[in-house]
Each structure stands twice: as C-alpha cells, then as structure tokens.
Amino acid sequence: MSVTAAAGFAASGVHAGIRREAPDVALVRSLEPAVGGALWTTNRVQAAPVEVSRRHLALAEPQAVVVNAGVANAATGERGVEDAERTAEEAARALGLEAEEVVVLSTGVIGVPLPMDKLLRGVREAAAALSPDGGDAAARAILTTDAGPKQAVAARAGFTVGGMAKGAGMIHPRLATMLAVVTTDYPLEPGEADAFLRPAVDASFNRISVDGECSTNDAVVLLANGASDVERSAETDAAFAAALGEVCGALARAIVEDGEGATVLLEIRVRGAASEEEAVAVAQRIATSPLVKTATFGRDPNWGRVLAAAGSAPWNGGFARVDPSRLTVAYDGVVVFERGVPTGHLPELAGSAVAIELDLGLGDGAASYLASDLTYDYVRLNAEYTT
C-alpha cells in the first residue's frame, strides 16, 4: 500500500539532517518513461518549489519527484528559487535525467532558507537508496506535524494507482498545507494527466478543511508510466478515473483524520441547495466555522451554530440561498431541526466521527465536505510551532 504499488516505480526516504531525527528527504522515480501533471496551491504567496516545478512541467514530462520536509522554502526570495533549481539539478544528475524532468516539493517552516549542503547530500543518498519497496520510507520522509504516514492504493483489472500524502494543519481547499504524490501504471498520453487529476482533486483534497488556512506550498502530482500495458478504452478510462478518485479520497480523509489536535471527524453533507455551487459554499462555511468545530470538540450538538453558518455562506458576491422554513438539519441521523422548527431531539455525540446533514429544500444541488474539530491541542501546537 504505497506510492510504489504500481508497476515501474521506485522510491526512498532518508534522513539528511534538515530535521533533528526524522527522515526528511523523499524521492519517487518512474523506472519507465512517464507523463504527468500537477495541481498547485492558489495562494497568492507561493513557495519557490511551486514556481520552479510549474516551469519544469511546462517544459518536460515529469519523471521524478523530490520532497524535503522541515523547511518550506517559501518567502525566501531569489535564493529560494535558486535552491529549488539546484535541488532539481542534483536529483537529475543522480538519476540520469534533465533537471526539467524533476518536480521539487518542500514542506515545513516558512521564511527559512534551505540547508543546501544537507539537502543535496540527502538527494544523493535518496537516489542511491531507490527501491520498488521504498514507498513506506518515502511516505515517512515527507511528514511534518503528521501523526503518521498516509498512503492509499486502488487496483483495477490490469492496473494500479498508488499514492502518499502529508498534511495535518494549515488545511483548506484550493489546496492546503498538504503534498501528495500519486503514481499509476495506467497509460496516459502527454497532456492528459490534468484532465483526470483535476476532478479527482476537486472531489477530495478541495473538499477538506482542518483550520481554514491555505498554504504556500501545496501540490498534488500525478505520474503515469503505462507499465501495465493495459489497452485503453472508454471503459478503462472510466475505471482509471474512479481508481484515481478513490486514492485521492482516501488520502484526503486521512489528512483530516490526522488534523492537528483533532479528536472528531466532521462529515458534512448538504443536499437540496438551489445549485451545486451553493451546496459547496454552505458545506465549506460549516466546515470552517470555529463555532461549529469547537462545539463538536465538546460533543455538543449545538445546531444553532450550524444554522448560522449555513445562512452566512459566501457565494456570488453575497450569501448562498437559504430559507429557514425549508431547512432541515440532522446530527448522526437524528433530526434536530425540521423545516424551520426545532424537534427537541438532541443526539449523543460520543464517537470519533459526527455526520451533520442539511437539506435546504430548494433544489437539486448537493455537496459534501470533511473537517476536523478545533481543540486545545491545535492551539497549543500552533502557538509553539517555531518556538
């Protein structure tokens, strides 16, 4: 169950000394000629590796991904860009590739220059350690505040999709402080990867929130090498899209379950909206409401906070359409508010997951979101992040 589950991929993870003890440099490489694509954070402040990797993908098909943890190489000026380029060049030399064929990702503290002597040594060590069995090591080497590695695999008739991700805090749509590398031996043509990747990301990584914070470094990278020799058809393309969505969905859920300080997974489902876009807006507003999240931490089914969030969901220059007289809210299947009237029922929220369901009663729009609660430990961890 790793990023090397698909045929023709190797990976590694090593400790270069960027972090005190944990492994901190990961490398994933296709052993067969690959094509690929990526989606990036939409934050206006973007890290140097995002800038450099965008440029590389415009010039060549990606064959390898190198990731460092501990330092984000964001807000580091021209030096940061040069360091990202040097990282790609070092990986390319070690792997017999062109620098433009290497995607560079970084995660960690913003505003700190990369310790390049350590990183470049780590890149060389990671290249020497590449193995088809190295997926677990790579998944551990990309972590920061994560409790553990996040991996997923989906197999269909004749091909496999595998992936790894990191992320626990600074998580919000349009990507978040998360990195994901997904590989497949399904055959794609140059330029096709993004068309498959975007809908999978929109339904997974762009539907999660831990703290409403959008990061500077986020990326989801897809490499496809065709090593399965599957004969493509409309049916196999649909199966690949489903498998890719399954892997992205599993990784996204793992990120929220591992949210910094999290004790409860919030599963928010909205239906009956006037449009799908408004359903997304309402679900996102509830998922990012500090009042909803803190109430959930206290296992308090305070549905009034859900109503207030739903009625103030930004959309199209105003708020999404909500009519309280048509609105129904349920917690874990227990209806607490039905078409504008409290029911008097209060569910017990004792589990590790809570489902909040809304029927707006206005149309056919529907959307879902995953979020975590907001806890004392989240505040403590982020209050002490650099000190």
3-state secondary structure 164-212: EEECCCCCCCCCCCCEEEEEECCCCCCCCHHHHHHHHHHCCHHHEECCC
198 neighbors 191 (Cβ within 8 angstroms):
no
d(CA 110, CA 107): 8
- Given the residues 4, 76, 177, 288, select the one marked as catalytic: 177
User: Is 177 considered catalytic here?
Assistant: yes
306 neighbors 358 (Cβ within 8 angstroms):
yes
**Which phi and psi (to 5°) does residue 363 adopt?**
180, -150
d(CA 19, CA 293): 32
269 neighbors 357 (Cβ within 8 angstroms):
yes
What are the E-state strand segments in the chain?
9-14, 25-30, 35-40, 64-71, 102-109, 150-156, 159-166, 179-184, 208-209, 219-224, 265-273, 314-315, 318-319, 328-331, 334-338, 341-342, 353-359, 365-372
Q: How many CA atoms lie within 13 A of 223 on its CB side?
A: 35
Question: Could you tell me how many residues make up the chain?
Answer: 387
Q: What letter does residue 129 receive in the DSSP assignment?
A: T
Active site residues: 177
